[in-house]
Amino acid sequence: MTAALADQARLDLPGHWPAALGPRALAELDAQTPFLAVDLSTVADRYAAFTAAIPGISPFYAMKCNAAQDVLGTLAALGSSFEVASIGELRMLQEIGVDPAEVLYSNPVKAPHAIAAARAAGLWRFSFDSEGELHKLAQHAPGAAVYIRLRVDDSTSLFPLSRKFGAEAHEARALMLLARELGLEPYGVTFHVGSQCATTSAWRQAIAAAGALMAALLEDGVHLRMLDLGGGFPSRYVERVPPLDQIAGTINAALEELLPYRPALLAAEPGRHLVAESAVMVTTVLGREVRAGENWLYVDVGAYNGMMETQQTVQQWRFPLWTSRTDHALVPHVPFTVTGPSCDSSDTMFYGVNLPATIEVGDRLYIGSAGAYTLSYASHFNGFAPPEPVFVGGPAGTNATVQRIPSQPHVPSSPAVPLPADTPSHPGTASLAAPASRVATVLPPAPPLRAAGPPGEARAGRR
């Protein structure tokens, strides 16, 4: 091997991928592509690391990023709580035995029927960011606990979310007092620094804004019981991101320095951070062509059936790539445009990515860090089926011990009842394990559920 090729191999080799998802391990998987290879032990390890990094933190997994039942079951068994954006997501959790009382409903804008159904099921904490939402909550979930979502600076994130959601700081105090007037409990404050946040200072600025609101409300006799740090905790793709210990250091210092008091519940809503690096998308090369001097590679997964996030950034987001070729690190690499299987020319994911010059039809392309916002975004566009998850590891692989940090006693609620039949069930999975069955032994069983119908509401934002 030449020195140049050796340097390239060191740069490209996915050494940070879990061992169970290395190229050799992936080559041994005999499943129809496209599929998502998921290592559940990595999910468990990421959860343990997160809880250890921020003392006293209670994670509420943002299930919108990956709602595969085995992922949910793994996290529930470790003691995680959950954050939902729709009644459909709450139903998925009930199916594996998660108590709705341990769930946050963090979509700031909800349908009246969704509010009523969630409250009837036992969920008691709802987010909001407007006066209109407060009136809906007061009517359809009287006496519920509410937490306000602040608009904060998310300009250093890959996916900013503040245009669509978040109350301005100068409005927040009055909104929380209105909640009290309407018979709701002003319970907490949350924010979102944007998905895949790249700077630790964003958390400090957001915590400062939350602390200022908490201090102002003290003057009104309101003592908040929850501070929710939201999501935005990044995962590694191609570009490096701040490591968790650096983010945690900033957060821990800000909590000590910028809050007038420590709320009883310190929550966070990690999503991408827990699951992205736990999975690799495995896809097969369908065609290779040269068009106007440009190398094109056609594969059987595309933006519409799993890789939608490649369409949502200005420069097309870069994912780490590898191939099944044994000469991957030994031969020259040339730039390719990688496109999906559909008839839509915009179904193109990567531009100018370097891949082996020898790659050919039938080879497999491995797309790393694909555990978040792939399955949950996938559609049947053009009749192409979404990828199925294939689980290659289990939480038994972790040595960490994680204990649930109990939530506060919730306000009295109606007995749990089945959710309406107009909500979706969980997607099918090709599972090699069934952690959900273990969850049911330690969590209250879900009530009987009626058949699912049309899809429910859209999600409130990435985590």
So which residues are the catalytic ones?
343
**What are the angstrom distances between the C-alpha of 32 and each of 69, 147, 281, 282, 364?**
20, 45, 12, 9, 11
Task: Give me the DSSP letters along 376-438.
Answer: TT---GGGPPPPEEEEEE-GGG--------PPPPPPP-PPP-PPPTTS--PPP-B-S--HHHH
Distance in angstroms between the alpha carbons of the first and the last residue of the chain:
42
**What are the angstrom distances between the C-alpha of 14 and each of 20, 274, 380?**
12, 18, 30
- Does residue 34 have a cis peptide bond before it, meaning omega lies within 30 degrees of 0? yes
Q: What 3-state class would DSSP assign to 308?
A: helix
Length of the chain: 463
Within 13 A of 362's CA, how many CA atoms are on the CB side?
A: 1
Taking the C-alpha atoms of residue 65 and residue 69, their distance in angstroms, rounded to an integer, is 12
